[in-house]
A and B are shown apart, each in its own frame.
Chain A
Amino acid sequence: MPRPHQAIGAALLLGGCASLFPPQSPEEFRRTAERALLPWSGTIEVARPLREVAAAFEKKAPECLDLTATATIITITNYQEIIQTFVTTYKPTVVASAERVELRVQWRTLGEIRLSAPPAGGAYRLVADAYPLDAGRTRLQWYTVTAAEDFLVLAVRDWATGQNMACPDFTRNW
């Protein structure tokens, strides 16, 4: 019978293995986010029709999410300064169908080493789905890569509600 620390170790190993194989499609990404120990997803109801939410995604995604951001991390140790620069390219896609409007955000960082290939366009960073509830209301469901507060989710949620059409600053977060 395994001891508790062995069981925890095995669980961590298996969890680690899962992250070695990045989701290859939005559907896989949704499932991964839902299965996470702490959920990487959330939902809100928006008092706007689906067409307005879709229009906000169509306008803001190319304006705010189609970019390459550079972030520099400087670590000062006792004997040297280490400067690391991360160049990350983001790619948004908006897909509209009869039943929902999807906003997908993919990302890839220059020079990153992956044991298995990410999907074309980069690994999924965020998937946000907007479903019509009735003529004037929409349900927004998102899937992301963290259980913590995500600045990208905050921005997309604001676009959906129409409260704030600001762009996220990728030089401070990624």
Chain B
Amino acid sequence: MPGLHQKLVGALLALALAACGSTQRYADLPEKNLKVRTAASGTSVVMGVHRLDAKCFAHYEGVVALDRPELDVGLPPGRMSLLVFEFYSFGIIGGTRSTKKEARLLPRAGYRYEARVNYKDSLYSVDIFEIDARGAVRELETSRAAGCQ
């Protein structure tokens, strides 16, 4: 039975998804290659998944609610994706506010990826790491501009 806190988070996420303008869920792939670790206080977080084409235009594919500390997602290997992390806050005074952070990712076959999403005291970060088959970890440069010439 979900507790009050979980119910509240669920309600806020539903509002956030509605505020996104789309409640289309991301059609996940069976093979999970991205683990999203989320630690957020005072906010609700969603991750929009987009396909980036050769001209760097984003094509929306759906949204994933980051309502758990860990979540596994399947992204197509060999295809450029744009992940848009959106932090929502709600207040009786001030309404809904959101901050976005984009991360471009080209998953490679045979590699795993980890996104660390944090929000605390009005400071946020999204860091993405690539992990090879031997477990070696490297942080990725994920700015959209870096991949779009």
Whether B89 is near chain A, meaning CB under 8 Å from some CB there, is yes
Q: Are A151 and B95 in contact (CB under 8 A)?
A: no
B91 and chain A: residue at smallest CB distance: A74
Within 8 A of B (CB), among A51-110: 63, 71-75
Q: Are B94 and A72 in contact (CB under 8 A)?
A: yes
Q: How many residues of A contact B (CB 8 A)?
A: 20
Whether B149 is near chain A, meaning CB under 8 Å from some CB there, is no
A71 and chain B: residue at smallest CB distance: B97
Q: Are A164 and B123 in contact (CB under 8 A)?
A: yes
A167 and chain B: residue at smallest CB distance: B124
The distance in angstroms between the C-alpha atoms of A172 and B98, with both chains bound, is: 9
The distance in angstroms between the C-alpha atoms of A154 and B120, with both chains bound, is: 12
Whether A171 is near chain B, meaning CB under 8 Å from some CB there, is yes
Q: Are B95 and A169 in contact (CB under 8 A)?
A: no
Q: Given A63-B143, A172-B89, answer yes or no on A166-B125 (Cβ-Cβ < 8 Å).
A: yes
Partner of B97, one of A72, A155, A158, A166: A72
Q: Are A172 and B125 in contact (CB under 8 A)?
A: no
Residues in B neighbouring A158, C-beta threshold 8 A: 123
A-B contact number at CB 8 A: 48
Q: Are B123 and A74 in contact (CB under 8 A)?
A: no
Partner of A169, one of B94, B123, B143: B123
Q: Are A154 and B94 in contact (CB under 8 A)?
A: no
Residues in B neighbouring A73, C-beta threshold 8 A: 93-94
Q: Given A151-B123, A158-B123, answer yes or no on A72-B95 (Cβ-Cβ < 8 Å).
A: yes
Q: How many residues of B contact A (CB 8 A)?
A: 18
Within 8 A of A (CB), among B34-75: none
Partner of A171, one of B97, B101, B118, B143: B97
Q: Are A166 and B95 in contact (CB under 8 A)?
A: no
B93 and chain A: residue at smallest CB distance: A74
Q: Are A169 and B99 in contact (CB under 8 A)?
A: yes
Q: Return A158 CB to nearest CB of chain B, in Å.
A: 7
Whether A47 is near chain B, meaning CB under 8 Å from some CB there, is no
Q: Return A73 CB to nearest CB of chain B, in Å.
A: 6
Residues in A neighbouring B98, C-beta threshold 8 A: 171
Q: Are A151 and B122 in contact (CB under 8 A)?
A: yes
Residues in B neighbouring A6, C-beta threshold 8 A: none
The distance in angstroms between the C-alpha atoms of A173 and B119, with both chains bound, is: 14
For this complex, 24 residue pairs linking A to B, each with C-beta atoms less than 8 Å apart, are: A63-B143, A72-B94, A72-B95, A72-B97, A73-B93, A74-B94, A151-B121, A155-B123, A158-B123, A164-B123, A166-B118, A166-B120, A166-B124, A167-B123, A167-B124, A169-B119, A169-B122, A169-B123, A169-B124, A171-B89, A171-B98, A171-B99, A172-B89, A172-B122
- A residues adjacent to B (C-beta < 8 A): 63, 71-75, 151, 154-155, 158, 164-173
